[in-house]
A = this chain, B = another copy of it.
Amino acid sequence: MDQSVICPRFEKAMGMMSQRWTGLVIYQLLTGPKRFCTLETSMGISGRVLSERLKDLETHGIVKRDVYPETPVRIEYSLTEKGQALKPIIKEIEKWSQAWLPVESD
């Protein structure tokens, strides 16, 4: 019953971006590498889902995971080139929100 008249690549990208938290994770990583606990507390996502999203994004080649064997261990997540290429999308969402949403939203 899949009436996909829509371009499958577009549909895939949209499917990814419309998963809860994905956009915000990318937004956070646009300002530089971040560690797990920083993302967790700065965006209020649950560890369970953050873990899941980072794995997905890594699988899709959008996020890179680097381990620094310090003490305690430091693990940093950052955007790959493919991930950085999502910046224009985030910027357009930012522009739209500033143009069309009220400053005092409930």
Residues of B within 8 A of A43 (CB): 3-4, 6
Query: How many copies altogether?
Result: 2
Q: Interface size for chain A: under 10, 10 to 19, 20 to 34, or 35 or more residues?
A: 35 or more
> Is A71 located at the chain interface by the 8 A CB criterion?
no
Q: Is the CB of B85 within 8 A of A44?
A: no
User: Please, what's the 1-or-0 string for A16-59, where 1 marks a CB less than 8 Å from any CB in chain B?
Assistant: 01111111100100000000000001111000000000000000
**In the complex, how many angstroms separate the beta carbon of A59 from the nearest chain B beta carbon?**
12
Q: Is the CB of A101 within 8 A of B12?
A: yes
Residues of B within 8 A of A99 (CB): 85
CB < 8 Å neighbour of A97 from B2, B13, B94: B13
Residues of chain A at the chain B interface (Cβ within 8 Å): 1-14, 17-24, 27, 41-44, 82, 85-86, 88-89, 92-103, 105
